[in-house]
Amino acid sequence: MATTTYTNYESLADISILSPFPGSITILFIVCFAFWIVWQVMQINAENRHYDEIKKKGHNASSADKFS
**Pairwise CA distance, residues 55 & 51, whole Å:** 6
* Cα atoms in the Cβ-side hemisphere of radius 13 Å centred on 66: 6
* pTM score above 0.75: no
Tell me 62's DSSP state: G
Q: Residues 39, 41, 47, 53: is their CA dihedral positive or negative? A: negative
SS3 letters across 6-42:
CCCCCCHHHCCCCCCCCCCHHHHHHHHHHHHHHHHHH
Digit-coded pLDDT (tens) for 10-65: 666 666 666 777 778 889 999 999 999 999 999 999 999 988 888 888 766 565 55
